[in-house]
Amino acid sequence: MGRTSRKRSKLANRAIAASAALILGGGGLIAANSYASAGEGWWPGGRDGQQQNRTRAAAGQSVSTIDCPDVGDSLREVPGDQRFAVDRELATLDSQITVAYQRFADNRQRVEADRSFGENQILAPLRNERLVIIQRIVALIDRSAERPQGLEQMAPCTLRSDGDNDGNGNGEGGNDGDDGGQNGDGGQGDGGGENGSGDGDGNDGGNDGEQGGGNGGQAGNGPEAGDFVAIEDVQPNVQQPRNRRGASRGAFTTDCGVNANGKFNPDNVIVAPGVSNGAHHMHDYVGNQANDAFASDDDLAAGATTCRNQGDRSTYYWPVLRLQNGQDEADAAADGGGNDQNVGEIQTPSQVTLSFVGSPRSKVTAMPRFLRIITGDAKAFVNGDANANASWSCTGFEDRQLKDKYPICPENSQVVRTFTFQSCWDGQNTDSANHRTHVAFADAGGRCPQGFRAIPQLVQRIVYDVPPPVFDGENASVFAVDSFPEQLHKPVTDHGDFINVFDERLMNKMVSCINGGRRCR
């Protein structure tokens, strides 16, 4: 794909004046403990809170997006011979939501003026389309395993406002709190923190209309002014578990570049294998160059790599960061780009660090080849926080981490995205039905769940030199991650993906370094 310059745009004086105007966004949800349980949730409303918000939105709040239950995340058993077909059907559900969201966006004013139009012309057809696909999924699983119960009840979707999981803590509680996406045993940083209440009124600047179009951003679907907060207004909140006797204290770093060669696509070979544009947003790739929707394990094993050590052919990918500054990207009329309401200039990171670290309680064991790990949730804005694992900060302030806000960094400081991956493996599977339950996070003390073993923990740190956001009519310029259209470019939807394609020799070296307390490359 052709591309324009990836170098960051520099605005005069980095638009520092914009920072003061954006403090209205509040403190944001904070990562209070890097080993705290994801199952605890940041928004205490849970499913009850979710229903309250849906009722409130239906009673007259301005609506901003479509909220559909995540069928894929609810799957706990899919027979191996049906997994590929099920994943393709799940990708169809995502495409249906994308089409329905566009229909909603094109008719937003009419929907707000006439709720029956939204129900009859958008939600009812979407429910019927989803029901057909869900029934196909049930039939596929039923061929080789116990027939799943209750999936058909996930067909209906709702319309909801941007404020439904911001500010006042009454947002969605995720997956009933007990499955937590990671066996309920931890996540890299829950909400907590002093500033977790946002601006206090739940609207978070989302529907003030200050950005035009009623929903903000160059694409018309975010981000909003309330999605940003000055990092200097956030209190330090990072905590680490204390190393115990037997801890593995070493680290291994692999250098795979910053995607300077511009490998992008809107596929996701983990979640939607065999489906072009399965992600509906563009991904940055470093490492393995064979990664697209159709890549097999053999393709990855034979693929070229940008990693300096050729023994690492792993693939590391994440949503691109764009500067929405009125400048079109080469994908402005392509899937994953403008066709999915992801617009603006793709930014090349100034630095990407890929580190593997040990456990504070035990030695680590080698990862199996082709282990797949997803951290974070691309649909966290509507799903809730159970699998959310975004972490945003600024250089010089990385003891302050944000989950549901983008940081406004001071002069001479750069934006930092950090993905801390699951560090516990079930010892058997390289993937699972929902692509999550074969791995888990350690608990607050660094212990893996029963039956899981510690593996090297991947930590991705991605740095960008981008200007502070400016919301000023024709001069507007904001940065945001790509997202599914209905996720409104929210920072909480950030996520990272990894497939291990280390060769055996280099993986053994990594384990030896980490367990031996050394630092290796």
Task: Please report which residue ranges of 311-413 form alpha helices under DSSP H.
Answer: 380-383
Residue 138 belongs to a domain: no
Compute the distance between CA of residue 272 and CA of residue 276 in angstroms, rounded to an integer: 8
The verdict on residue 285 lying in a domain is yes
Domains identified in the chain, total number: 1
DSSP string, 432-461: -TTSSTTEE---TTSPPPTT-EE-PEEEEE
The pLDDT of residue 423: 98
pLDDT value, residue 288: 98
Q: List the Cα angle 225/187/501 in 5-degree steps.
A: 100
- 324 DSSP assignment: E
Spell 484-509 as b/e; 16+ CB within 10 A means b: bbbbbbbbbbbbbbbbbbbeeebbeb
Q: Rounded to the nearest 5°, which phi and psi values hold at 334?
A: -120, 160
Buried b (16+ CB within 10 A) or exposed e, 391-424: bbbbbebeebbbbbbbbbbbeebbbbbbbbbbbb
At 14, phi and psi to the nearest 5? 55, 25
Q: Are 352 and 257 in contact (CB under 8 A)?
A: yes
Query: 3-state class of 511 per DSSP?
Result: helix
Confidence (pLDDT) at 475: 79
Helix, coil or strand: residue 95: helix
Contacts of 207 (CB under 8 A, 6+ apart): 61, 62, 64, 161, 162, 163, 214, 215
Domain that holds residue 277: 12-64+161-210+223-236+247-520
Tell me the C-alpha distance between 9 and 344, whole Å: 11
**Contact residues for 106 (Cβ-Cβ < 8 A; gap 6+):** none
Where would I find the H helices in 356-402?
Answer: 380-383
Taking alpha carbons only, the member of 344, 382, 349, 302 closest to residue 476 is: 344
The half-sphere exposure of 246 on its side-chain side, counting CA atoms within 13 A, is 7
Instruction: Give the C-alpha separation, 378 to 503, whole Å.
Output: 30
pTM of the predicted structure, to 2 decimals = 0.83
User: How far is residue 123's CA from residue 117's CA, in Å, rounded to a whole number?
Assistant: 9
Q: Under 8 Å CB-to-CB from 184, ≥6 apart: which residues?
A: 37, 39, 177, 178
Q: Which two tokens stand for residue 278?
A: 């399965």
**Is position 381 within any domain?**
yes
Does some domain include residue 174?
yes
Residue 475 inside a domain? The answer is: yes
Q: For residues 315 and 311, give the distance between their C-alpha atoms in angstroms, rounded to a whole number.
A: 12
**DSSP codes, 462-506:** EEE--PPPB--GGG-BEEEE---GGGTT-GGG-EEEEE--B-HHH
3-class DSSP assignment, residue 180: coil
Instruction: Return the closest-CA partner of residue 257 out of 284, 278, 237.
Output: 284
> Is 69 a domain residue?
no
Q: Where are the beta strands (DSSP E) in 272-371?
A: 283-287, 315-319, 321-324, 345-346, 351-357
| pLDDT value of residue 61 | 60
Tens digit of pLDDT at every position of the chain (521 positions)? 444 444 434 333 434 334 333 433 334 444 433 433 333 222 222 333 333 333 234 444 688 999 999 999 999 899 999 999 999 999 999 999 999 999 999 999 999 999 899 999 999 999 999 999 999 999 999 999 999 999 999 999 999 988 654 433 333 333 333 333 333 333 333 333 333 333 333 333 333 333 333 457 888 899 999 999 999 999 999 988 889 999 999 999 999 999 999 999 999 999 999 999 999 999 999 999 999 999 999 999 999 999 999 999 999 999 999 999 999 999 999 999 999 999 999 999 999 999 999 999 999 999 999 999 999 999 999 999 999 999 999 999 999 999 999 999 999 999 999 999 999 999 999 999 999 999 999 999 999 999 999 999 999 999 999 999 998 877 789 999 999 999 999 999 999 999 999 999 999 999 999 999 999 99
Contact 162, 107 (CB under 8 A): no
What is the token pair recorded at 188? 């890299």
Query: Residue 291: inside a domain, yes or no?
Result: yes
pLDDT at residue 164, as a whole number:
52
**Does any domain span residue 218?**
no
Distance of CA 40 to the CA centre of its chain: 18
Residue of 105, 222, 101, 213 whose CA lies nearest to 162 = 222
Structure tokens at 10: 């520099």
Strands (E) located in 16-98: 65-67
